[in-house]
Each structure stands twice: as structure tokens, then as C-alpha cells.
């Protein structure tokens, strides 16, 4: 069974749908209570309603750029359809968000062809506290469940806790961990991990990196060095640079995405902690603005609560009920 087939099978279960719906509860509650207030006393979608909607979307951390696109599209629909009541606002909003994301963003994960490289090397980046290590552990679990041999590289050698956490996850999900003493050269750990993956016939190597957001030049140099040493073992590695962001930080997550995408060639995103925040709208903004696939979303604390991000499913769940 391929990686996508496994995830698809998992996410088609009622439990996975329930986890997504529950994970978005706080966002839905805040979002729709604000929209209700925005249209109170109004029967048609006029300029005042659109101004209020714009404020709601910005306050929901959708982001200014994406908000302006959405409001402009709704304004065009209203002008074209002549009479549109406020009762139609949720439907219009849902349709325009889905259409915007479908038009302006890369494909969902179902088009990602896993298995063209062995080992497939994933380098994970992101600041401390965003759920990076937990995401690595949960992803390792999902990959192993799909029948892949996985190895983890503890290349965040600046914090003893980071190495210990990776080892704990390795024990928990039953995958190997390559580690060196605290303070070791991160590139050396990455090199050893990839070399070990080749020797052991592993399918996937996931490399953790230091969760520091220092100046962009320093960050770029460090990540470039790690990439270069891995390429000596596996040409083209890392095949995936996964940026992990904490959705609960709202606009700060967008700023982190900006910093990391300028520092390295991020080609996949994971948004964590959606279940603990009312700022889930940031997923819409990030998905639209960066044109980088949001591959995974964290919707709960269970080991299986790392889900594939599907734009339509996400928006459907956001507007459900």
C-alpha cells in the first residue's frame, strides 16, 4: 500500500472526519459568531456588510491579502446576481474560499507521488514550540503503518531535550533514531542518518533541525550545509523540506513561513494545534499566499490526529453545521 493510499484509507473513516470537525470547533465558533454580528439587521449584502465581512476574515487570521481577494470575489458575485440576501453569505463565502484555494494553490497531497526515491529524505524545519518533534513522531508512525521502514535523525543538537524527545518518539512508534551528543554538528548527524538509511534499506529518513529563527543568513547557511552533506550520500536529498507552523500563533505563523521560505526551499507545510485555537483561518491564508502545499494538519493530540490537508474537506468542515 502506498503512502497516499494509506492516508486516504485512514481519512475516509468516520473517526478521521469527526477528528477534523472537532479540531475546527473553536475556529467555527468564533468565525460564525462574528459573521452573524456582521449581518445583524441587514437583508442584503451591501457595502457595510462587505466591510464587516472583511474585518471578520482579518480578525480570523485569514490574512489581509487573502481577505481582500475573497471579499472582492463576493462583491463581484453580488453585483452580477443583483439581489443577494444575507442568508446567502455563508454559501457564497464557502464557495469563494474553495474556488480561490483550488485556483491559486498547488495540488492537494493526493497528487504527491511517494516512492520515486529510496530513501525518501524529509528535512523538517520550524521554530521551537510549534509541535515540530510531535509532527515528526506522528508522521513516522503513519509511514510505518503504511509498511515503510523509517529512520529519524536527531539533528537539533542545540537542545538536549530535542534529542531526548526524538528518541522517545522513536521508542513509542518503533523506528530507529540516529543521534549524537548534544552540541554535535547537525550536518554530521544528518549525514550519518542518511548513510544509515541507505545501508539499512530504509524507505524514509526524517531529519529534525534546530528550531531557531536567527538571522536569515545564518539560518540559510546552516540548512544549506545540512542539505549539501546529505546530497553526498543521496543525490537530490532532501526531497522534501517540511516547514512546521503552529496555527494558534495566527499571523506570526505567516511571518515564520515568510522567513523560512526565504532561507530555504520549503516545498511542504504542516499546520499544527488547530484543535486548540480559534485561528484556524490562518490555514486559508497560508495555503493561498505561499503556493506551497499544506500537506498535513494537526487536529488533536492522538497519534493518528495528523491528517492530510485537503482544501475542499477543510472548508466543508469549517462551514458544517
Sequential pLDDT tens for the chain (321 residues): 455 454 544 555 677 788 888 988 988 888 877 888 878 778 888 899 899 999 989 988 898 999 999 999 999 998 888 767 778 888 889 999 988 888 765 555 553 345 568 899 999 999 988 999 999 999 999 888 888 899 999 999 988 889 999 999 999 999 999 999 989 999 999 999 999 999 999 999 999 998 876 567 777 888 999 999 999 999 999 999 999 999 999 889 998 999 899 888 999 999 999 998 888 889 999 988 888 888 899 998 888 889 888 888 888 888 886
The verdict on whether residue 288 carries a ligand-binding annotation is no
The verdict on whether residue 209 carries a ligand-binding annotation is yes
The verdict on whether residue 211 carries a ligand-binding annotation is yes
Distance set, CA 163 to CA 75, 87, 137, 139, 207 (Å): 52, 53, 12, 17, 11
The verdict on whether residue 190 carries a ligand-binding annotation is no
The verdict on whether residue 126 carries a ligand-binding annotation is yes
Bond from prior residue into 39 cis (ω within 30 degrees of 0): no
- CATH superfamily, domain 120-312, is P-loop containing nucleotide triphosphate hydrolases (3.40.50.300)
Q: How many CA atoms lie within 13 A of 53 on its CB side?
A: 24
CATH of domain 4-103: 1.20.120.140
Q: Could you tell me the pTM of the whole model?
A: 0.89
Residue 52: partners with Cβ closer than 8 Å, 6 or more residues away: 37, 38, 39
Rounded distance between C-alpha atoms, residue 321 and residue 170, angstroms: 39
C-beta of residue 30 within 8 angstroms of C-beta of residue 13 = no
Partners of 205 in beta bridges: 121, 151
Rounded distance between C-alpha atoms, residue 20 and residue 217, angstroms: 38
Same fold for the pair 4-103 and 120-312:
no
The verdict on whether residue 277 carries a ligand-binding annotation is no
Cell numbers given for 177: 533514531
The verdict on whether residue 133 carries a ligand-binding annotation is yes
Residue spans per domain, the chain:
4-103, 120-312
The verdict on whether residue 65 carries a ligand-binding annotation is no
Amino acid at each position: 500500500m502506498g503512502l497516499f493510499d494509506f492516508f486516504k484509507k485512514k481519512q475516509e473513516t468516520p473517526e478521521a472526519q469527526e477528528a477534523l470537525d472537532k479540531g475546527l470547533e473553536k475556529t467555527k465558533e468564533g468565525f460564525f459568531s462574528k459573521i452573524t454580528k456582521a449581518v445583524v439587521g441587514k437583508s442584503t449584502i451591501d457595502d457595510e456588510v462587505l466591510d464587516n465581512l472583511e474585518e471578520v476574515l482579518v480578525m480570523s487570521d485569514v490574512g489581509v491579502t487573502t481577505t481582500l481577494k475573497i471579499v472582492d470575489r463576493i462583491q463581484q458575485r453580488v453585483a452580477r446576481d443583483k439581489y443577494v440576501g444575507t442568508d446567502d453569505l455563508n454559501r457564497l463565502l464557502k464557495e469563494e474560499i474553495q474556488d480561490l484555494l483550488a485556483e491559486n494553490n498547488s495540488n492537494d497531497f493526493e497528487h504527491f507521488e511517494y516512492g520515486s526515491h529510496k530513501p525518501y529524505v524529509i528535512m523538517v524545519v520550524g521554530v521551537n514550540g510549534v509541535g515540530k518533534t510531535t509532527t515528526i513522531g506522528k508522521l513516522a508512525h503513519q509511514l510505518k503503518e503504511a509498511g515503510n521502514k523509517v529512520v529519524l535523525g536527531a539533528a537539533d543538537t542545540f537542545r538536549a531535550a530535542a534529542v531526548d524527545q526524538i528518541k522517545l518518539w522513536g521508542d513509542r512508534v518503533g523506528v530507529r533514531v540516529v543521534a549524537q551528543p548534544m552540541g554535535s554538528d547537525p550536518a554530521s548527524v544528518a549525514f550519518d542518518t542518511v548513510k544509515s538509511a541507505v545501508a539499512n534499506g530504509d524507505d524514509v529518513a526524517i531529519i529534525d533541525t534546530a528550531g531557531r529563527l536567527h538571522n536569515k543568513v545564518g539560518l540559510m547557511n546552516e540548512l544549506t550545509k545540512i542539505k549539501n552533506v546529505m546530497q553526498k550520500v543521496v543525490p537530490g536529498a532532501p526531497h522534501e523540506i517540511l516547514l512546521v507552523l503552529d496555527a494558534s500563533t495566527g499571523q506570526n505563523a505567516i511571518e515564520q513561513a515568510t522567513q523560512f521560505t526565504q532561507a530555504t526551499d520549503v516545498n511542504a507545510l504542516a499546520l499544527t494545534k488547530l484543535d486548540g485555537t480559534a485561528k484556524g483561518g490562518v490555514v486559508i491564508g497560508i495555503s493561498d499566499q505561499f503556493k506551497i502545499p499544506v500537506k498535513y494538519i494537526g487536529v488533536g493530540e492522538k497519534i493518528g490526529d495528523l491528517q492530510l490537508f485537503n482544501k475542499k474537506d477543510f472548508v466543508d468542515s469549517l462551514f458544517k453545521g
